[in-house]
Structure formats: structure tokens, C-alpha cells
């Protein structure tokens, strides 16, 4: 940020409040490429109070609303309606004058520095914001001496906590639950053992796991550029005698730019409304830091997180990490590109309909969409609460288990959950995976039953080379002793239209200030700088988003109960998938039925952008709707689609192919076991050099 902007942002009015309107205008005029926020900003939109309060409603306001609603108001009752508007006006105005209520970051324990917008080259590689955030173990050690009730790893050692409240120095514990140990393979319906923490002046994460002594080596194309920084931090912690190895020690992590990281701006793939600078850390952020991870910034994502290609991110087209000129997939494109190139070890992506798994498949990495509700989305921009979730993106299955273990478990703020309780305690995915690896080495996959989903191989417009690679990858499970059969789920495509209604109608609620329903922390501060939409705002949106908005408005006006019906039908689909998974251990199919398309130039127009990657989510979206966990595993490579072959030599281009595995709810462990078994024998990073290849020319 320029000195002028810093000076302007720091000015305050006579009442001590930030001059928010002027500050936002200044921020919106910034060239983001020159932005450098090295210290916490005073222009934190989530705490601003309106500088232009709306006047009391008038009769004109009343009649304008009535006309929009097609409502007739009797003349003799207008005063009652006006009284109702005045009353709700006062309630809304009083509410907006209250300070927002959310977890406050501990900047001394979790310091952040070197915050800046990515440069032109970094944008192409997938970055949005660079930062340096890591736990300060010297502070943690000093606090440990002062108060032995707080463990160095961030967990509670002497105090028990529940719902963030204490009574007489003690806290009422939740009812005891009989359960298996986390070192056992627990996938049944149990409550979680993670205890809640206060959501004021502390982050909402709770107990944080430590790593196993064993490690799983990863074959990297190149080591993380920040690896030495991570080692130095780890060595500092070890030198100070601060306990056993933490789960994510030495690992660099990037966050999709929809996840709140205090003092770091958030664009959410859009330049509408300027910068939003969060005051809070998402639950996953603190859990990563407490587990030893080193957060290096935020990754760019596609416009409003709704594009399947990597051509719509702000100010850049994100390149595929293994094939320049091709899509990295969307919408978690930046995470996929940075992890796939080896620049960063791990990423946290967001997934509504496939936005973790599609870019994972296109970029040759492992992407997990966990069971709906397993990982809290507190502090994450949520458009469709019925489907939104975050999950790990990594180069290996083992790293995926590590990151999932670090972030899984409820925080008691985000109350989304699947239709059954979580395991208790949350499984130690990484240690269980190492034990499973030893067992599979000796016994193979005898007794494992894999279902090839008929519909998953039958999509219109499918690429036969993709199908060939995935079927050959499935045959490798047979070689390891598994039984592979074909199964069918008619709802996979049969209820796709209902799924479309849920995605379209649900996703636009927040965009109109109507994000109601599921209990969760709301990020109204982000939307304050954008809403209400008007012609000026609409002119800044791309056409794909405007098509979603107008389609949702049409359904709401002419089919007002279609969303309700669709939600119920998706529960029917979930039951059908549950029934199939009673007969087989996992479902298997291609993640994407076509190879990554070529990137679309910014000036190419909306129709080309919509065509590219239009079938990307046909296999991922159904399981977003049902809530089942699914993981994209890189298994091989394919040449480009025929329309992307511009010369004969293009047929030799290798593009990653992902295989989608779907498991029973809260049975991420089976996906990890099978993925690791396949990866350690037939795959590994980079997949275009190690996996199953398909060189056949298309006819």
C-alpha cells in the first residue's frame, strides 16, 4: 500500500471511529499489484459502522417494496405497514451498531509479516497474497511457564472447557461417550472428543494432534522454496525442548483466497468492492499453526469460486503446473498450481461442486473433499451452506492424511454436519495410514470390494482416453487382491437437475444479503463492501455470475418451492449412495471425464469460457450434494482433447488424469488406505512421469 493510502487509512473522525467510507474509496482505487500490507490495517471492514445510516422508511419506500412483491396494501392500513417497517428498521439499525462477534486472533502467539499482493509472475503461478504466518514458540514457552494450564501445542492441559464458559474455575464436561481409541480405525457413528474453546479472544479450534515418529517420504519434483524456513522454525522449537514432533512441522501451507487470515486481504476471486481485510483467523488457520504448519499466504481462485477453468482469476490466468497453456482446474486453481509445481507443500481448498477435486485432477495432485461437516468452515466465505466445505490438497496421500488430521473435528461454531455423528475421537489418519500400509504390504487388498460406478463412466462427451486410463488404474486394485465390480446409481445423473437448483438458488442467497439457515459464523463484513447489488456492481461482475443470479431469481419467482423439493430429492440420492456403499467399500470413476482444456484468454468472451470445462463436475457434484467423502487421486496422463490439438506434436503433451474414489460418510480412512496403496505401487508425484499413460491418437 502506498504511504498516502496508509496515512489516509489511519485517519479517524472526531468520535474515534475509522473514516470507513473514505478508507474504502481509497482502497478501491489502489492498483493491487502495488499493495504491500506489512502491518495490521486500520481499515477492517468487518468492524465498521455505517457512516451513511438509512433514513426512516417513508410511504414511498413502502409502496416500492409492495410493487416489487406484487402486493396490494389497503389505504386504511398503510400506517400499520409503515409502523412495521419502522420497527424492523430500528432493529436492523441497532443490530448494525453492535460490534460483530467472532474469534479474535492472538497476534503475539501467531504473528504475521511480509503481507503483500503477488507480483505478475506470482499471480500466474497461483498466488494472490504473500504472507508469513507461523506460531511463535518462544511466546508459547513463556506462557507455559506463566500458566501451566495452556499447553505449548495449543491444547488445554489442566483446564477443561465447554462452550467457552467456566464455572468456579471448572467446566462442566460433556457427557462421557464410550468409544474406541483414535489409533484404531474408527469410522462408526460416534461423537467427537474435541472440546470447544471460547469464541472470544481465542480461536475456536480445540485439541491439536501431534505427528507420528514415522515419516512418509514424498517424491518431489522440487523442494519447497520455503523448506529451510520451516526447518529453522522446527529446530527452534526442538532446541527449546517443546515436546514431540508436531503434525505439520516443516510443511508450508497456502490457503484458498476465501479463507480468513487476519490482516491479509481477501478478494474471493473478484475485484468487486475492493479489498476486504479480515480481523479473524479461520478455525483451520489456527489448527494448522498449532500443528506446526507454516502459512505462506493465500492462493488465487476463480471468480467468486464458480469457474472450472483457471482463466477467470483476478489479474491473471493461472497456468497448469505440468503443462503451460492448459487449465489448472477451478475454482481452487491457485492451490492446485502451487502444490502441483512443488512450490508449496500443502493447500487448503474450498469445494462446493468439485472445486478441490477438479483442479487436483487437472494438476496431478491429491484432493480430498471430506465428509460434509467433518472440517469446520468457520472463517470461510460460504455461498451455499448445504454443500460448501474445505479440504486438503497435497502431492501425496500421506500428506493429505496429515493435513486432514490437523484440521478435522468440530469447533462448535460451525454446526454443519452429515446425517450421522462424527467418530469419537477423530481418527489419527496419518498413523492409521502407516499401519495400513504395513498390513497391505503383507496381505494385499484381500476382502476389499470396489464398485466401478456405471454412470460415472457414461457421461455425455466423455473422453475415451480418460476412461481407458481410469479403468486400467482400477485393474491395479485387482492385482493387489481387491474385488472390482460394476455398480449403478441412477440418481447420479437422474437427479442432476435437482442438484442444479440447489447450487444455483442456494449460492445466490448470500449475494443478495439473504444468507440464512445453517448455524455458522457469518462473514457479513465481507459482503458489506459489496451489497446491495445495483447496476454499477453488476457491471463489474462477469457474465457467468450474472447468469447464476438471474437464473436463481427466475426459479424463486416462478418455482418458489423448487429449492425445497430439490433438497429433499438430494437426501434421496444420499440414501441411494449409502445403500450402494453397504455393498462395496468405495465407488470409483474418473474425476473429470475430459482432460484439462487450454486456458481461455481474458478477451475471448463468455461463451468460450463457459464451454471450456463445462463437463468438469459431472462426477464430483453429485457427491457434494450427498455429503459423502471423495478423493481425487492422480493415476496417469492423457493427450489433450481433439479441439486442443493444434499441431501433430501436441499429441505428445501429457495432461494429468484423476481417479475419483467415494467412501461412506466419515470413512475417509478407507479412501486414504486405498489411495496410498495405489500411489506407493503404481503412481507418485509427478504423475505424468510415473502413472498410466495413454498415447492413443483419437479418431
Res. 407: pLDDT tops 80: yes
Last residue of a domain, one of 68, 97, 126: 97
**Peptide bond preceding 604: is omega within 30 degrees of 0, i.e. cis?**
no
User: In whole angstroms, what is the distance from residue 361 CA to residue 367 CA?
Assistant: 8
Is 354 within a domain? yes
Q: Active site includes 331?
A: yes
pLDDT of amino acid 238: 54
Q: Among the listed ranges 487-501, 519-533, 559-573, 652-666, which one has the minimum average pLDDT value? A: 519-533
pLDDT at 543: 79
Nearest alpha carbon to residue 128 among 298, 7, 362, 364: 298
Least confident of 198-202, 269-273, 325-329, 561-565: 198-202
What's the pLDDT band for 303 if we cut at 50, 70, 90?
confident
Q: Which residues of 202-231 are buried (b: 16+ CB within 10 A; e: fewer)?
A: bbbbbbbbbbbeeebebeeeeebebbebbe
Mean pLDDT of 504-531: 77
DSSP annotation of 49: -
How many angstroms separate the CA atoms of 397 and 417, rounded?
24
Lowest mean pLDDT among 76-80, 115-119, 200-204, 394-398: 200-204
Tell me: do 459 and 310 sit in the same domain: yes
Residue 271 lies in a domain: yes
pLDDT at 28 over 50: no
Would you call 341 helix, strand, or coil by DSSP? helix
Q: Which of 328-332, 500-504, 513-517 has the lowest mean pLDDT?
A: 513-517
> Worst-scoring range by mean pLDDT, 114-128, 215-229, 238-252, 671-685?
215-229
Query: What is the average pLDDT across 54-78?
Result: 92
What is the longest distance spanned by two Cα atoms in the chain? 84
**Which of the four pLDDT bands, split at 50, 70 and 90, describes residue 518?**
low
Give the residue from 67, 97, 127 where a domain finishes.
97
pLDDT bin (cut points 50, 70, 90) of residue 127 is very high
Q: Is 29 helix (H, G, I), strand (E, B) or coil?
A: coil
Average pLDDT for the chain: 80
Residues above pLDDT 70, as percent of the chain: 77
Averaged over 59-65, what is the pLDDT?
A: 93
- Asked if the structure places residue 315 within a domain, the reply is yes
Return the higher-pLDDT residue of 221 and 484. Answer: 484
Q: What is the pLDDT of residues 149-182, one digit of tens each?
A: 544 444 444 333 333 333 333 333 333 323 334 6
The C-alpha atoms of residue 553 and residue 558 are separated, in whole angstroms, by 9
> For residues 626 and 245, what is the distance between their CA atoms, to the nearest angstrom?
37
On the question of a cis peptide bond just before residue 54, with omega within 30 degrees of 0, the verdict is no
Mean pLDDT (whole number) for 342-366: 97
Q: Give the residue-averaged pLDDT of 362-377.
A: 97
pLDDT of 454 > 70? The answer is yes
User: What is the rounded distance in angstroms from the CA atom of residue 555 to the CA atom of residue 571?
Assistant: 20
Q: Say if 138 falls within a structural domain.
A: no
- Whether residue 256 lies in the annotated active site: yes
Determine the structural domain holding residue 533 and report its residue range.
228-693
The answer on pLDDT for 435 being more than 70 is yes
Residue pair 153/237 in contact (Cβ under 8 Å)? The answer is no
Q: Which three cell numbers stand for residue 19?
A: 473514516
Say whether 615 is catalytic. no
Helix (H, G, I), strand (E, B) or coil at 697: coil
Cβ–Cβ < 8 Å for 668, 368: yes
Q: Does 417 score more than 80 pLDDT?
A: no
What pLDDT is recorded for position 641? 94
Q: Is 67 exposed, middle or buried (0-12, 13-18, 19+ CB in 10 A)?
A: exposed
Residue 493 lies in a domain: yes
Candidates 353, 355, 430, 617; catalytic one: 355
> What CA–CA distance (Å, rounded) separates 407 from 291?
9
260-273: per-residue pLDDT in tens?
999 999 988 886 64
Q: Residue 191 above 50 pLDDT?
A: no
Q: Does the pLDDT value for residue 471 go beyond 50?
A: yes
How far apart CA 391 and CA 410 sit, in angstroms, is: 14
Is residue 178 included in any domain, yes or no? no
3-state secondary structure at position 320: coil
Return d(Cα 140, Cα 260) in angstroms, integer.
23
Q: Is pLDDT of 497 > 70?
A: yes
How confident is the model at residue 16, as a pLDDT?
36
Q: Which of 97, 115, 144 is the endpoint of a domain? A: 97
Q: Please compute the mean of the pLDDT values over residues 388-414 and round it to a whole number.
A: 96
User: Which pLDDT score is estimated for 485?
Assistant: 98
Cell of 195: 472440546
Q: Write the CATH number for 468.
A: 3.90.1300.10
Residue 305 predicted with pLDDT over 60:
yes
Whether residue 144 is contained in a domain is answered as no
Whether the pLDDT of residue 462 is over 90: the answer is yes
Q: How far is CA 143 from the centre of its chain?
A: 32
pLDDT tens-digit readout, 562-611: 999 999 999 999 999 999 999 999 999 999 999 999 998 877 777 777 77
**Model confidence at 188: pLDDT above 70:** no
Q: Of residues 256, 387, 476, 690, which has the active-site annotation?
A: 256
DSSP-derived letter for residue 76 is: G
Quote the pLDDT of residue 368.
98
Cell of 311: 482463466
Cα 254 from Cα 336, distance rounded (Å): 10
- For residue 532, whether the previous peptide bond is cis, meaning omega lies within 30 degrees of 0, is yes
Q: Rounded to an integer, what distance in angstroms lies between the CA atom of residue 408 and that of residue 298?
A: 20
- What is the tens place of the pLDDT at every residue in 621-631? 999 999 999 99
Q: Measured on CA atoms in the order 437, 438, 439, 445, is the torsion positive or negative?
A: positive
Q: Which of 125-129, 233-237, 632-636 has the lowest mean pLDDT?
A: 233-237
Spatial separation of the C-alpha atoms in residues 419 and 405, rounded to whole Å: 21
Instruction: Place 218 in a pLDDT band, splitting at 50, 70 and 90.
Output: very low
Give the pLDDT band of residue 59 (cuts 50, 70, 90): very high
The torsion angle over the Cα atoms of residues 621, 622, 626 and 629, rounded to 10 degrees, is -60
Residue 236 has pLDDT above 80, yes or no: no
d(CA 402, CA 214): 12
* pTM: predicted TM-score of the whole model, two decimal places: 0.82
Kindly report which listed range (41-55, 247-261, 463-477, 552-566) carries the lowest average pLDDT score. 41-55
Q: Quick check: is 52 in a domain? A: no
The pLDDT value recorded for residue 476 is 98
Residue 201: is it exposed, middle or buried by C-beta count within 10 angstroms (0-12/13-18/19+)? Answer: exposed
88 compared with 695, residue with greater pLDDT: 88
What grid cell was written down for 352?
A: 462446493
User: Pick the catalytic residue: 224, 310, 311, 331?
Assistant: 331
Q: Examine the pLDDT at 27 and tell me if it is beyond 80.
A: no
- Read off the DSSP letter of residue 636: E
Task: Say how many domains are in the chain.
Answer: 2
The CA distance from 579 to 468, in Å, is 28
**According to the model, what pLDDT value does residue 176 have?**
31
Amino acid at each position: 500500500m502506498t504511504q498516502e493510502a496508509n496515512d489516509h487509512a489511519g485517519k479517524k473522525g472526531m468520535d474515534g471511529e475509522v473514516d470507513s467510507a473514505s478508507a474504502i474509496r481509497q482502497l478501491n482505487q489502489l492498483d493491487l499489484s502495488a499493495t504491500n500490507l506489512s502491518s495490521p490495517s486500520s481499515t477492517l471492514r468487518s468492524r465498521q459502522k455505517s457512516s451513511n445510516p438509512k433514513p426512516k422508511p417513508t410511504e414511498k419506500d413502502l409502496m416500492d417494496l409492495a410493487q416489487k412483491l406484487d402486493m396490494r396494501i389497503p389505504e386504511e392500513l398503510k400506517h400499520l405497514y409503515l409502523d412495521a417497517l419502522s420497527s424492523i428498521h430500528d432493529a436492523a439499525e441497532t443490530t448494525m451498531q453492535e460490534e460483530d462477534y467472532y474469534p479474535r486472533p492472538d497476534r503475539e502467539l501467531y504473528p504475521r509479516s511480509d503481507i503483500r499482493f503477488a507480483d505478475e509472475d506470482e499471480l500466474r503461478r497461483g498466488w494472490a497474497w504473500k504472507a508469513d504466518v507461523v506460531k511463535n514458540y518462544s511466546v508459547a514457552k513463556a506462557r507455559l511457564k506463566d500458566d501451566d494450564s495452556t499447553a505449548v501445542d495449543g491444547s488445554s492441559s489442566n483446564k477443561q472447557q465447554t462452550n467457552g464458559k467456566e464455572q468456579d474455575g471448572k467446566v462442566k464436561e460433556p457427557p462421557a461417550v464410550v468409544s474406541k481409541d483414535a489409533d484404531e480405525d474408527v469410522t462408526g457413528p460416534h461423537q467427537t472428543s474435541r472440546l470447544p474453546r471460547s469464541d472470544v479472544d481465542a480461536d475456536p479450534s480445540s485439541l491439536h494432534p501431534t505427528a507420528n515418529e514415522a515419516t512418509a517420504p514424498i517424491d518431489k519434483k522440487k523442494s519447497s522454496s520455503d523448506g529451510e524456513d520451516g526447518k529453522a522454525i522446527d529446530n527452534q522449537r526442538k532446541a527449546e525442548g517443546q515436546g514431540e514432533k508436531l503434525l505439520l512441522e516443516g510443511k508450508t501451507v497456502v490457503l484458498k483466497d476465501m479463507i480468513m487470515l487476519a490482516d491479509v486481504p481477501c478478494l474471493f476471486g473478484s475485484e468487486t468492492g475492493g479489498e476486504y481485510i479480515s480481523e479473524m483467523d479461520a478455525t483451520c488457520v489456527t489448527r494448522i499453526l498449532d500443528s506446526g504448519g507454516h502459512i505462506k499466504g493465500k492462493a488465487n481462485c476463480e471468480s467468486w469460486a464458480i469457474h472450472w477453468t483457471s482463466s477467470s482469476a483476478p489479474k491473471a490466468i493461472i497456468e497448469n503446473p505440468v503443462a503451460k497453456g492448459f487449465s489448472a482446474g477451478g475454482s481452487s486453481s491457485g492451490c492446485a498450481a502451487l502444490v502441483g509445481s512443488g512450490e508449496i507443500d500443502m493447500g487448503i481448498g474450498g469445494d462446493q461442486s468439485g472445486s478441490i477435486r477438479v483442479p487436483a485432477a487437472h494438476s496431478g495432485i491429491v484432493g480430498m473433499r471430506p465428509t460434509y461437516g467433518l472440517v469446520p468452515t468457520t472463517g470461510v466465505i460460504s455461498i451455499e451452506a448445504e454443500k460448501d466445505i474445505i479440504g486438503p490438497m497435497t502431492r501425496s496421500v500421506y500428506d493429505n492424511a496429515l493435513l486432514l488430521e490437523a484440521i478435522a473435528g468440530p469447533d462448535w461454531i460451525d454446526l454443519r454436519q452429515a446425517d450421522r455423528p462424527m467418530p469419537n475421537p477423530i481418527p489419527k489418519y496419518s498413523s492409521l495410514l502407516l499401519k495400513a500400509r504395513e498390513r497391505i504390504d503383507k496381505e494385499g487388498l484381500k476382502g476389499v470390494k470396489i464398485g466401478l460406478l456405471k454412470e460415472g463412466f457414461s457421461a455425455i462427451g466423455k473422453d475415451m482416453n480418460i476412461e481407458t486410463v481410469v479403468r486400467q488404474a482400477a485393474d491395479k486394485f485387482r492385482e493387489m487382491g481387491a474385488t472390482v465390480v460394476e455398480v449403478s446409481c441412477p440418481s447420479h445423473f437422474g437427479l442432476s437437475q435437482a442438484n442444479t437448483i440447489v447450487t444455483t438458488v442456494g449460492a445466490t442467497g448470500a449475494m443478495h444479503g439473504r444468507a440464512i439457515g445453517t448455524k455458522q459464523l457469518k462473514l457479513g463484513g465481507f459482503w458489506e463492501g459489496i451489497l446491495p447489488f445495483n447496476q454499477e456492481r453488476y457491471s463489474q461482475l462477469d457474465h457467468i455470475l450474472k447468469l447464476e443470479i438471474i437464473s436463481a431469481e427466475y426459479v424463486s419467482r416462478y418455482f418458489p418451492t423448487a429449492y425445497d423439493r430439490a433438497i429433499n430429492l438430494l437426501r434421496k440420492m444420499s440414501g441411494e449412495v449409502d445403500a450402494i456403499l453397504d455393498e462395496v467399500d468405495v465407488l470409483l470413476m474418473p474425476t473429470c471425464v475430459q482432460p484439462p482444456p487450454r486456458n481461455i484468454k481474458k478477451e475471448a468472451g463468455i461463451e468460450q469460457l463457459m464451454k471450456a470445462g463445462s463437463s468438469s463436475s459431472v462426477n464430483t457434484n453429485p457427491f457434494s450434494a450427498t455429503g459423502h467423502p471423495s478423493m481425487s487421486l492422480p493415476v496417469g496422463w492423457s493427450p489433450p482433447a481433439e479441439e486442443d490439438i493444434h499441431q501433430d506434436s501436441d499429441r505428445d503433451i501429457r495432461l494429468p488424469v484423476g481417479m475419483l474414489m467415494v467412501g461412506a460418510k466419515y470413512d475417509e480412512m478407507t479412501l486414504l488406505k486405498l489411495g496410498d496403496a495405489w500411489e506407493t505401487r503404481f503412481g507418485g508425484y509427478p504423475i505424468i512421469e510415473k502413472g498410466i499413460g495413454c498415447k492413443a491418437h483419437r479418431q
